[in-house]
């Protein structure tokens, strides 16, 4: 949480649309990437991200400034992502939605600044392996792995978002990493 967030939230609570839009600009990429790694495709990620901000907008009066704004918005986004996964389970299989993936050409979607010299050591094939391995995890592990590695959050903040003790978050990280390690190493 920072001072800027607090100021914007107070203005947004008072009905200042420009302040609300600034909050959206600050968080949209974080929320979209979280939803994308949770759901595996851009269309659903966009739907869930839009819904997240609509919820923020309609519930902003209930937001309590004692807590970090990021914790609150991540909580909304992770819950909506999990709901979406559960709803589609009856109609979708994993294979179905992987077939809808953009495939290798999604590299072209990356913002230029993210392809620095250090990132170039990771191959497209490795990216896809890790991406699919995350999507194969049961959602209770997937959410923790995404918050940790896509959002780069501390274990403490993750525990606040998912309402679980730090020890449980660590156990889920352990299992998530072990699963992905095995997926990568067996190929």
Contact residues toward other proteins (CB under 8 A) are 15, 17-18, 21, 24-25, 28-29, 32-33, 36-37, 42, 46, 49-50, 53-54, 57, 106-107, 109-111, 114-115, 118-119, 121-122, 126-127, 129-131, 145, 148-150, 152, 155, 170, 173-174, 177-178, 180-181, 184-185
Shortest Å distance, C-beta 24 to other proteins: 6
Q: Which of 82, 71, 96, 97 is nearest to 142 (CA)?
A: 82
Min separation Cβ 126 and other proteins, Å: 6
Q: Which residues contact 23 (CB under 8 A, 6 or more apart)?
A: 5, 8, 9, 12, 56, 69
Shortest gap between Cβ of 89 and other proteins (angstroms)?
24
Closest CB to other proteins among 58 and 91? 58
Could you identify the residue written with the tokens 């600050």?
Answer: 26
List the structure tokens of 48.
Answer: 């869930």
- Which CB sits closer to other proteins, 5 or 151? 151
> What's the number of CA atoms in the CB half-sphere (13 Å) around residue 15?
0
User: What are the CA-CA distances from residue 95 to residues 13, 24, 36, 100 (Å)?
Assistant: 43, 33, 17, 9
CB closer to other proteins out of 86 and 182? 182
Of 139 and 151, which CB lies nearer to other proteins in the complex structure? Answer: 151
Structure token digits, residue 135: 């999507």
């Amino acid at each position: 949480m920072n001072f800027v967030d607090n100021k914007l939230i107070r203005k947004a609570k008072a009905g200042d649309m420009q302040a609300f839009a600034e909050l959206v600009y600050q968080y949209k990429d974080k929320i979209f990437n979280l939803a994308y790694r949770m759901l595996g495709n851009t269309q659903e990620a966009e739907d869930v991200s839009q819904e997240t901000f609509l919820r923020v907008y309609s519930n902003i009066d209930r937001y309590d400034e004692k807590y970090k704004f990021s914790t609150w918005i991540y909580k909304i986004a992770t819950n909506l992502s999990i709901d979406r996964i559960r709803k589609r389970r009856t109609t979708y299989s994993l294979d179905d939605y992987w077939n809808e993936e953009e495939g290798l050409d999604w590299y072209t979607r990356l913002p230029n600044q993210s392809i620095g010299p250090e990132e170039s050591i990771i191959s497209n094939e490795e990216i896809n392996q890790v991406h699919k391995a995350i999507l194969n995890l049961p959602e209770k592990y997937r959410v923790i792995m995404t918050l940790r590695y896509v959002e780069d959050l501390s274990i403490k903040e993750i525990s606040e978002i998912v309402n679980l003790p730090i020890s449980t978050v660590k156990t889920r990280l352990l299992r998530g990493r072990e699963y992905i390690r095995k997926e990568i190493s067996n190929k």
